[in-house]
């Protein structure tokens, strides 16, 4: 029996999770929320994490009923992510490991999402669509590594959604992407947007620039209203709807192409954007047409959390992975395919 505790803080979520042999014992998390129209800056995000992490740790220990001396390994997010928040959480993990006299393991954030998704959904060997605020990747496992078949060549899909939410001043509570999803349900008119798929890769920055012209500034839009035809009139709800439909169609196309290449009959969606019901619907239609199966999780495990770091670290630890104290650092750039999946034998 191995019990692992995980600390996650690569972006605006700070979480602590505890697992015991694949069983989730605790999954405590808080979010740093900024005012509408504003993003979260690295320095302020790190300050938030430092102020909240010990309280979250206490809650996780209370919920799990686990004492520190029962824990076998302390895990933390090594990267990728924003440097100040990553460093703030890594320092806490190092300190806890030293106080408790436990080994420490740095976990790849992306691998944490994938392994947590596999645990919860019981997907065997899926084509993985990893969509979040900082990453957009289509991944498939082969020969001890998670291979990246396609990815964004500029900004991540979650970053695209978040930045558009700021343009139209949507609330950041509970998240910009969730509020865009709710507005999109009210959209009635599709506004044609640039569709930018380049082989297996995608580009989202041009779509955002195009939408920025449509949505801002409102005064200029009102002045031009007299010259506009009926077909050129749109609402923020229409733009949210059009943005989702276009972005998700690009993801479905590239994911299907990866499935065709690998012969996969499973798709697993992970990452914060994976909570979006419309994305799951569109991916589900494609899977049904191919005779494949779609796997996805809810917001407890899609959104960044500490338990996914604990579980990935648990997998690493029981397969023999160990980390020297000098290596217990962080890195903002830590690609998914850099990690050797020693815990997988297929």
- Helix-strand-coil percent breakdown of the chain, rounded to 5? 50, 20, 30
Among 25, 37, 73, CA closest to 169:
37
What separation in angstroms does the CA of 88 have from each of 62, 71, 83, 335? 23, 22, 9, 21
Q: Which residues are annotated as a binding site for substrate?
A: 130-134, 162, 177, 181, 276
Residues in the chain, overall count: 346
Q: How far apart are CA 102 and CA 277, in angstroms?
A: 40
Q: Which residues are annotated as a binding site for a divalent metal cation?
A: 109, 113, 130, 304
SS3 state of residue 260: helix
Q: Which residues are annotated as a binding site?
A: 109, 113, 130-134, 162, 177, 181, 276, 304
User: What are the start-end ranges of the E strands in 86-236?
Assistant: 104-108, 127-131, 136-142, 145-151, 197-198, 201-202
Contacts of 312 (CB under 8 A, 6+ apart): 6, 75, 107, 108, 111, 112, 115, 116
Instruction: Please give the biggest Cα pair distance in the chain.
Output: 72
């Amino acid at each position: 029996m191995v019990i692992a505790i995980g600390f996650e803080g690569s972006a605006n979520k700070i979480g602590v999770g505890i697992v015991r042999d694949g069983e989730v014992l605790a999954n405590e998390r808080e979010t740093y929320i900024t005012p509408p129209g504003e993003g979260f800056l690295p320095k302020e995000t790190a300050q938030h994490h430092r102020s909240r992490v010990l309280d979250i740790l206490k809650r996780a220990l209370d919920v799990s009923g686990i004492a520190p001396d029962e824990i076998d390994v302390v895990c933390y997010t090594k990267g990728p992510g924003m440097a100040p928040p990553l460093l703030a959480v890594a320092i806490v993990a190092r300190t806890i490991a030293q106080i408790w006299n436990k080994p420490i393991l740095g976990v790849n954030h992306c691998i944490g999402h994938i392994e947590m998704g596999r645990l919860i959904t019981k997907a065997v060997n899926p084509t993985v669509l990893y969509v979040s605020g900082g990453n957009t990747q289509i991944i498939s496992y082969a020969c001890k590594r998670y291979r990246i078949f396609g990815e964004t060549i500029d900004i991540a899909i979650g970053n695209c959604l978040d930045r558009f939410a700021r343009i139209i001043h949507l609330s950041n509570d509970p998240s910009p992407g969730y509020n865009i999803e709710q507005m999109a349900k009210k959209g009635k008119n599709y506004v044609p947007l640039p569709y930018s798929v380049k082989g297996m890769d995608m580009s989202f920055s041009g779509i955002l620039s195009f939408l920025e012209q449509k949505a801002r500034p409102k005064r200029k839009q009102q002045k031009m209203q007299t010259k506009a035809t009926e077909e050129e009139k749109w609402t923020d709800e229409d733009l949210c709807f059009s943005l989702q439909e276009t972005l998700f169609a690009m993801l479905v196309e590239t994911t299907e192409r990866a499935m065709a290449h690998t012969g996969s009959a499973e798709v697993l969606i992970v990452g914060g954007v994976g909570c979006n019901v419309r994305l799951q619907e569109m991916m589900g239609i494609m899977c049904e047409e191919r005779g494949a199966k779609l796997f996805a999780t809810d917001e407890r495990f899609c959104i960044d959390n500490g338990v996914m770091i604990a579980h990935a670290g648990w997998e690493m630890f029981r397969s023999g992975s160990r980390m020297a104290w000098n290596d217990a650092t962080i890195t903002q750039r830590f690609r998914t395919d850099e990690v050797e999946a020693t815990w997988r034998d297929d």
